[in-house]
Amino acid sequence: MSYETITLTVGDNGVARIVLNRPDAANALDLQMTLDLMDAAIELDHDPNARCIVMEGAGGRFFCAGGDLSAFEKAGERSPHLVKAMTTNLHAAMSRLARGDAPVIAKVAGTAAGGGLSVALGCDLIVASDEAKFTMAYTRAGLSPDGSSSFYLPRLVGLRRAYDLALTNRVLSAEEAEDWGLINRVVPAADLDGFVDGMAAELAAGPTAAFGRTKRLLLEGSYSSFETQMERESRAIADSVASEDGKEGLNAFLNKRKPDFKGY
């Protein structure tokens, strides 16, 4: 399937790549990009060959600069309608990626701002170059957060730091973002491609369905009761034991060999 504002590929090693491809517009989100992201998330959710997903921005300078504010201005009185359409598409994409089996890595080489930061936060892992920058930026333009950032941000950095980022639009370096717990890894810019490729390949060779159960447990655990979460854990691990990858993993562990996971 072809897209207007992103590129989507799935490699033979099980690594899918979504590239936000509007470099002349700082990879900003417009209506078409939100539609493309939603369609890509649905397509990957149904592709058993996509066992890890890497999200990145074209051009290197920006992961994504957020929403395309020029489109909002051009829409005039219709701008609330446009924004609701964009967020409906974007939120559907982020929900699908969060609840899907394949681990999702945000590969941030440049700046992630506004909706771009929200998209990165909605990925399971964030790996950034040491030249990357992170900022909420919404209130600078008189706007409020979207794209799942108001859910993830306080859970990742705590409420006080979330207020700081959202109200002052403080810009964090990659090192600061790692120290705050906003991202997972910082690597030298020259090493970013190789590091993410290696991580993605390793995850793509893993027990994909078990990854999916784990992702959903961790996501749901932030708002579930203690007993409800334990019941979910019980059901998920029982499903894992019964799965082909579960049987393979147990056999490999007991026989001291490397498992050969198939993703189901």
Which two tokens mark 222?
């932030």
Tally DSSP H helices, then E strands, for the chain. 11, 10
Catalytic-labelled residue, pool 39, 47, 91, 164: 91
Told to judge if 146 belongs to the known catalytic residues of this protein, a careful annotator would answer yes
CA distance 195 to 175: 17
For the chain, the residue count is: 264
Told to judge if 91 belongs to the known catalytic residues of this protein, a careful annotator would answer yes
Which two tokens mark 158?
């705590």
CA distance 155 to 146: 15
218 burial (CB, 10 Å; 0-12 / 13-18 / 19+) is exposed
CA distance 67 to 69: 6
Going across the sheet that includes 185-187, the strands are 6-10, 15-20, 52-57, 104-108, 125-129, 185-187
DSSP 72-130: HHHHGGGHHHHHHHHHHHHHHHHHHHHHSSS-EEEEESSEEETHHHHHHHTSSEEEEET
Catalytic-labelled residue, pool 30, 124, 146, 245: 146
End-to-end, the C-alpha distance of the chain in Å comes to: 25
CA distance 90 to 226: 31
Q: Which residues are catalytic?
A: 91, 146
